[in-house]
């Protein structure tokens, strides 16, 4: 029972160029095409499942693995993995992780970074936290023990971009209060509730008109990062 192969994926793609441009406009990070993280949703212990859904935080949970754009819109979701699995393991087994590993994603060609003229092109990538592996199209922060000024600036930019997915999870729970308590229904029903909430989240975010152009000061703060 290493991973729940019944997990289901859904896709809500806006277009790589739109996503890339918005990450640069909002978070001052170029070539980024998504922010990835996992979210544990509390559930009541399912019958005859042992410790499969019992996570490291000491409660039973289902995992939502999601990729969002700079505006907090879900681009891909994968729902239904066992709570005991780490984010890295869930990602490695879900459709997005498998496609990335097999170079099966339609990722745009590398392009020059701003200020990197004549220094070659740089790949497009997703940002993650330190729990995920470092790959050509998957960027994570530098370890704190090995930071110089340049790496600290990169970590800061990466952290800002990751706020997109973290804030999306917070908004999901805030708007749909049933997720504040353990979900007490069949696993299949819980999966459907989470997927439906993600779809409604995207609808509400779009209808509320969240697509704005930030001022210069909101993209580059007083630290100059």
pLDDT digits (tens, 9 = 90+) for 90-120: 988 888 888 888 888 888 899 988 877 777 8
Tens digit of pLDDT for each residue in 161-220?
A: 999 999 999 999 999 999 999 999 999 999 999 999 999 999 998 888 665 444 433 444
* Range in 128-137, 140-149, 213-222 the model is least confident about: 213-222
Mean pLDDT of 116-144: 90
Query: Rounded distance, CA 169 to CA 203, Å?
Result: 15
Q: Which residues pair with 96 in a beta bridge?
A: none
pLDDT at 14 over 70: no
Residue 10 binned pLDDT confidence (cut-offs 50, 70, 90): low
CA angle 42, 48, 53 (to 5 degrees): 30
More confident residue, 180 or 5: 180
Tens digit of pLDDT for each residue in 61-73?
A: 999 999 999 999 9
pLDDT at 8 over 60: no
Residue 5 binned pLDDT confidence (cut-offs 50, 70, 90): very low
Query: Rounded distance, CA 42 to CA 64, Å?
Result: 11
The whole model's pTM is what?
0.84
**Residue 18: alpha-carbon gap to chain centroid:** 17
Q: 135: number of CA atoms within 13 Å, CB side?
A: 19
- Tell me what pLDDT residue 39 has: 94
- Tell me what pLDDT residue 13 has: 54
Question: Mean pLDDT for the chain?
Answer: 84
- Tell me what pLDDT residue 3 has: 37
Q: If DSSP states are collapsed to H, E and C, what string results for 58-75?
A: CCEEEEEEEEECCCCCEE
pLDDT at 221 over 80: no
């Amino acid at each position: 029972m290493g991973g729940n192969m019944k997990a289901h994926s859904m896709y809500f793609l806006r277009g790589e160029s739109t996503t890339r441009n918005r990450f640069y406009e909002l978070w001052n990070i170029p070539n980024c095409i998504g922010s990835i993280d996992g979210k544990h949703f509390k559930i009541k212990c399912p019958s005859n499942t042992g410790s499969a859904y019992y996570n490291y935080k000491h409660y039973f949970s289902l995992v939502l693995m999601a990729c969002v754009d700079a505006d907090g819109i879900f681009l891909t979701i994968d729902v239904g993995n066992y709570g005991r699995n780490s984010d890295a393991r869930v990602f490695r087994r879900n459709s997005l992780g498998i496609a990335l590993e097999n170079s099966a994603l339609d990722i745009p060609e590398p392009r020059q970074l701003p200020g990197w003229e004549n220094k070659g092109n740089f790949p497009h990538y997703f940002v993650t936290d330190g729990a995920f592996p470092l790959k050509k199209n998957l960027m994570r922060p530098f370890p704190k023990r090995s930071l110089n000024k340049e790496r600290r600036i990169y970590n800061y930019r990466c952290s800002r971009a990751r706020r997109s997915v973290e804030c999306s999870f917070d908004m999901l729970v805030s708007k749909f209060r049933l997720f504040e308590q353990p979900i007490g229904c069949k696993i299949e029903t819980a999966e459907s509730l989470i997927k439906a909430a993600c779809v409604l989240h995207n609808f509400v975010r779009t209808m509320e008109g969240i697509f704005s152009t930030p001022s210069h000061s909101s993209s580059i703060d007083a630290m100059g990062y």
